[in-house]
Amino acid sequence: MGYALGLTDWLGKASGPSGLWQGLIVGLTCAALMLAVRLTRSAKKHIRRAA
């Protein structure tokens, strides 16, 4: 994602170094959201099983 934003014109005008940082932030945010969803589902599953 950072490469596409920073160095290429695939997703718009190339942003340079700031695009690399933006891509890193977007990637880490997406990973954190997906991990939160997975943890929530897993916790609900284990809580139901224990009750």
Residue 41 has pLDDT above 90, yes or no: yes
Kindly report, residue by residue over 9-37, the tens digit of the pLDDT: 776 777 788 888 888 898 899 999 999 99
- Cα dihedral value 42, 46, 48, 50, nearest 10: -170
Q: Quote the CA–CA distance of 33 and 20 in Å, as a whole number.
A: 20
Residue 50 has pLDDT above 80, yes or no: yes
Q: What is the pTM of this model?
A: 0.72
**Contact at 8 Å (CB) between 10 and 4?**
yes
Q: Quote the CA–CA distance of 24 and 20 in Å, as a whole number.
A: 6
Residue 44 has pLDDT above 90, yes or no: yes
- Retrieve residue 43's tokens: 């916790």
- Retrieve residue 39's tokens: 């943890």
